[in-house]
Structure 1
């Protein structure tokens, strides 16, 4: 696919051994939705993706896995040294070709990376291994293809080695350039993620007007609406159209009201019996609030979402992946259908991708342009 070749994107998620998943490999398209019964592992898959994204952005293992033992596969026995762990990975497609990243993490007795492998076209570009358990480092070897075939050096055992390579590799030989291209492609794709979980109970409160980047829980929705209305009229018009399609009553406008204490709140303007009535969003149901928040996420760009964008990457190569667990949570069938249609249209346009999980698979199977991952046995 052309978009995959020009914009780095994660096209496969591998959960070799992670909580309830063993030997799992999930294809990811521009719009991917996980379906399955409660407990089938939908949330776990999204959590693994977000974990890789945070590691790619430079976070430490302890920040990403505060409870690492919970990630160990169920009923996994410890070895003779009392060690247990988990394994996750992904494939990133882009200008360098398909690049595979695989990570082995020890959860007990100490949290640390014990193995990492970066490969492309059958060539191992980076391999790390824990040689001395007494040291807080792993032995790394990366492809050089110069006077020496590989370069060896220690790397920290609590950080993703792939994310550190651009600071360690000189880029003088053809092999080093290949390593840099693969590592940078992987890091750019991983860190370009916005994990979203709208919280209606928080969205009902007025917020300060200067909170312009949308947060994970979407509690500052009104401030972001205030910003997009003034600076991005096209997106605001599309959002108003989405509100008309998914909210009750004949919605005529999506507005923002300035309150006397300097805060703002969002309003839905409706035409009721010929009279215009403005309803504050705090009076809306959970389904309408989640619908509006997710529509806003889909229709705004990286500069509005509070994610980690690689600003040094040219705009033509940037993409953004939205992670949305419970994509249809609290929505009625009409809202779910309208939101799926909007997401499919936005994802087809190019730089935005969506990986989500839904509880009701019936609407998903009828939607066009969706990669459905069914986790039901």
Structure 2
């Protein structure tokens, strides 16, 4: 199918009666509950349900990393990033056998659903990768009502034509939006919120943006964790390179959380563990050590790769946006946000005991609603019977 056919037209009217919403009690924390890869790299017409803990399982080449990359790209767009930052290699996102249309255009389509106080809100985006990178179509819907819709009308302009629901004296409002930014993330700057329809658009857009922005992609790099690091780096980076410096800060911030971290390390590391400490060195760096309880301390440099990845992932699952290197929506209270951790190679280098302990920790933490996990594993047979875990099996 030529990519041009995926571009949704701007409708003449998005107004009309709003379908009644009869819902019982809902979790007010916005969270992504479905990822859609309509035409993205090796995925076609794919929709993946996302629960509190979701594992993408399959052999190499099945598309696990691709699915997580699509989620992370949507998160970047939700935070207001330009297209090139969200998709640094856009041509690689185009389905391999996709043919260009008559004007040489090829692209891809992705989307997601965010659930929360507004119920399910759907976002679908069509991106042109060639010959120019641009958003050529976007649609935000709730209860079957189109709240925002954009389309490329003039290829010579770096903008798309947008129409959003008003339900006032005019059923819709039309205006141009940049073609390199997600329109949904720009709506709070464009919609006045004077009518019920406008307020509904803003509420749905906010739910989607908050759900997307509350994401931390994590892939610990053990080699970088073994050496002392400079102090003052702030928040934990995605590769957990500065783990020792973050421990220097967090150990005194919350004794309860640190106690849970030590308890988890006792289960996942070889030998006894009674504490995890960070020590400053004379050169202005800080190193982390395991306290063995008998006066002996083990530097992280002596730990195996699996132990280091287990330590880093455990810390991430027990912490929050204030400690992680991410840009959460600051205007939303922590109690109304659900942090989603994206972890590629979740089981990499972990032995059976470590991965089971880590999964139990993730499921237990997710049960409180503040942490969600979307991860990729080669084989998910080891997690059978773990409550709260959704397994998405992919075939190469």
TM-score over 0.5 for the alignment?
yes
- Show the counterpart of 2:305: 286
Tell me how far 1:2 sits from its aligned partner. Answer: 9.0
CA contact (8 A) 2:55 2:380 kept: no
- Show the counterpart of 2:254: 232
Q: Among 237, 247, 257, which residue is 1:215 paired with? A: 237
2:122 & 2:318 partners in 1: Cα distance? Answer: 31
The 5-angstrom pairing of residues 243-254 of structure 1 reads 243-254=265-276
- Show the counterpart of 2:28: 6
CA contact (8 A) 2:114 2:122 kept: yes
- Show the counterpart of 1:365: 384
Q: 1:3 to 1:89 in 2, by over 3 A?
A: farther
Tell me how far 1:3 sits from its aligned partner. Answer: 9.4
Query: 2:47 aligns to what SS in structure 1?
Result: strand
2:209 corresponds to 1:187: yes
Tell me how far 1:146 sits from its aligned partner. Answer: 0.8
Q: Among 40, 44, 53, which residue is 2:66 paired with? A: 44
Tell me how far 1:110 sits from its aligned partner. Answer: 0.6
1:57 & 1:319 partners in 2: Cα distance? Answer: 15
CA contact (8 A) 1:170 1:176 kept: yes
Tell me how far 1:63 sits from its aligned partner. Answer: 1.1
2:195 corresponds to 1:176: no
Query: 1:366 aligns to what SS in structure 2?
Result: coil
Query: 2:252 aligns to what SS in structure 1?
Result: helix
- Show the counterpart of 2:5: none
- Show the counterpart of 1:337: 356
The 5-angstrom pairing of residues 1-377 of structure 1 reads 5-271=27-293, 275-376=294-395
CA contact (8 A) 1:222 1:265 kept: yes
1:310 & 1:4 partners in 2: Cα distance? Answer: 21
Query: 2:271 aligns to what SS in structure 1?
Result: coil
2:320 & 2:58 partners in 1: Cα distance? Answer: 30
CA contact (8 A) 1:3 1:350 kept: no
2:40 & 2:218 partners in 1: Cα distance? Answer: 22
Q: What is the root-mean-square deviation in Å for CA atoms of aligned residues? A: 1.4
Q: Which runs of 5+ in 1 are unaligned?
A: none
2:368 & 2:142 partners in 1: Cα distance? Answer: 28
CA contact (8 A) 2:160 2:178 kept: yes
Q: Which runs of 5+ in 2 are unaligned?
A: 1-22
Tell me how far 1:261 sits from its aligned partner. Answer: 1.1
Normalising by the residue count of structure 2, what TM-score does the alignment of the two structures yield? 0.92
Q: 1:220 to 1:293 in 2, by over 3 A?
A: same
CA contact (8 A) 2:55 2:391 kept: yes
2:47 & 2:32 partners in 1: Cα distance? Answer: 12
Aligned pairs, number:
374
CA contact (8 A) 2:187 2:202 kept: yes
